């Protein structure tokens, strides 16, 4: 009977470290939130400047870039039951308990521009990362680069 030795697993050098997934997720979230805040601030600045001196084309006029706001409503919390085994809200008493959340308003213009700006920012970041951090490497199937000959006549 033949006994086999189990080879210990070695880290494959062609695999990337899994921590880069987490860094990519953080960058994706940061780019999205950064794009949203940049677009919201940019729209406010452009509209305020347009009110002082109209510079946007005719369809926008003096009011500036329209922001379509959709009201998603408000949420009313029900009143707590005080006859429950623990009276009140818990181990602490609130002076003014939270009664409602809202109104929740979504600006469609900001969201649409956020998607556009975040896609452009992610593409630019990917392009810069590809140029800076990933030099071309020859694989086992690639031919070596051809030898370069020096110019014989330097008079040209």
- Name the percent of the chain in helix, strand, coil, to the closest 5: 40, 10, 50
Please state the length of the chain: 156
- Please tell me the predicted confidence (pLDDT) of residue 38: 95
- Please tell me the predicted confidence (pLDDT) of residue 127: 92
- Please tell me the predicted confidence (pLDDT) of residue 111: 93
- Please tell me the predicted confidence (pLDDT) of residue 85: 56
Could you tell me which of 65, 44, 64 has the C-alpha nearest to residue 54? 64
Beta bridge partners of 100: 76
Name residue, tokens 């406010």.
Answer: 44
Tokens of 46: 């452009």
- Residue range 44-77, pLDDT digits in tens: 999 888 888 888 888 887 788 888 888 888 888 7
Q: Which helix (H) or strand (E) holds 60?
A: none
Distance set, CA 50 to CA 33, 69, 112, 117 (Å): 26, 20, 21, 21
Q: Where are the domains of the chain?
A: 20-133
Q: Is the pTM above the cut of 0.85? A: no
- Please tell me the predicted confidence (pLDDT) of residue 40: 92
Tokens of 4: 């086999």
Residues of the chain with pLDDT under 70: 1-14, 78-98, 135, 154-156
- Please tell me the predicted confidence (pLDDT) of residue 134: 75
């Amino acid at each position: 009977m033949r006994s086999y030795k189990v080879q210990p697993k070695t880290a494959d050098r062609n695999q990337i470290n899994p921590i880069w997934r987490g860094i990519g997720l953080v960058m994706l979230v940061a780019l999205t939130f950064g794009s949203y805040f940049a677009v919201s601030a940019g729209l406010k600045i452009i509209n305020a400047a347009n009110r002082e001196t109209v510079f946007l084309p005719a369809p926008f006029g003096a009011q500036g870039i329209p922001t379509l706001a959709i009201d998603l409503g408000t949420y009313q919390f029900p009143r707590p039951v005080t006859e429950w085994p623990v009276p009140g809200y818990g181990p602490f008493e609130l002076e003014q308990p939270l009664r409602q959340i809202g109104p929740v308003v979504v600006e469609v213009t900001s969201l649409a521009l956020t998607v556009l700006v975040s896609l452009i920012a992610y593409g630019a970041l990917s392009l810069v990362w590809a140029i800076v951090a990933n030099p071309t490497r020859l694989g086992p199937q690639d031919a070596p680069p051809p030898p370069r000959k020096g110019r014989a006549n330097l008079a040209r």
